[in-house]
């Protein structure tokens, strides 16, 4: 587990960089010195409890014409976690329950279209990258 100074923040990219557009979270997080994970796991709750703020970045199976969006994430149980997919709100709830605190959190959802094997991003997600990067940079500036 990484140690974070008081008042710190972290950018976490979620996804598999070998599954096309699913790797966009890792790509963006790494651009700003964040970290990437293939999926959220309960073990991350301890690390989150030490943070003041976290930005999750994930590919989003958006409706046609969907644009990147930044949404606030509130800790919420939302039922029992799936062993294959833990949502940011559930991870925050685990952090709150186990460690008595959870950071303020946002989720940058990047509209994704292709999840085939390979590390090539679709034309559509490449077109969404500038807006996604702008939203991420805006979050970083606001939370500096």
> Residues 46-88: pLDDT tens digits?
999 999 999 999 999 888 888 999 999 999 864 555 555 689 9
In a domain, 28, yes or no: yes
Q: What percent of the chain has pLDDT over 90?
A: 66
According to DSSP, the residues that pair with 101 across neighbouring strands are none
CA distances 114 to 7, 18, 23, 78, Å, are: 37, 11, 10, 27
Number of domains the chain is built from: 1
Q: What is the CATH number of the domain that holds 39?
A: 3.40.50.1450
Domain that holds residue 76: 9-142
Find which of 25-34, 76-85, 111-120 is predicted with most confidence, using mean pLDDT: 25-34
CA distance 87 to 108: 13
pLDDT reading at 5 higher than 50: no
């Amino acid at each position: 587990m990484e140690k974070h100074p008081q008042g710190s923040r972290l950018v976490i990219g979620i996804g598999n960089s070998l599954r096309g557009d699913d790797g966009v979270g890792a790509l963006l997080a790494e651009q700003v010195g964040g970290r990437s994970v293939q999926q959220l796991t309960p073990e991350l709750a301890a690390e989150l409890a030490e943070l003041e703020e976290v930005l999750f970045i994930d590919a989003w199976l958006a409706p046609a014409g969907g644009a990147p969006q930044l949404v606030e994430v509130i800790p919420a149980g939302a039922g029992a976690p799936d062993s294959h997919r833990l949502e940011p709100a559930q991870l925050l709830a685990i952090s709150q329950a186990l460690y008595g605190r959870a950071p303020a959190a946002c989720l940058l959802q990047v509209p994704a279209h292709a999840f085939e094997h390979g590390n090539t991003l679709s034309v559509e997600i490449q077109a969404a990258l500038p807006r996604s990067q702008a939203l991420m940079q805006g979050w970083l500036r606001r939370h500096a």
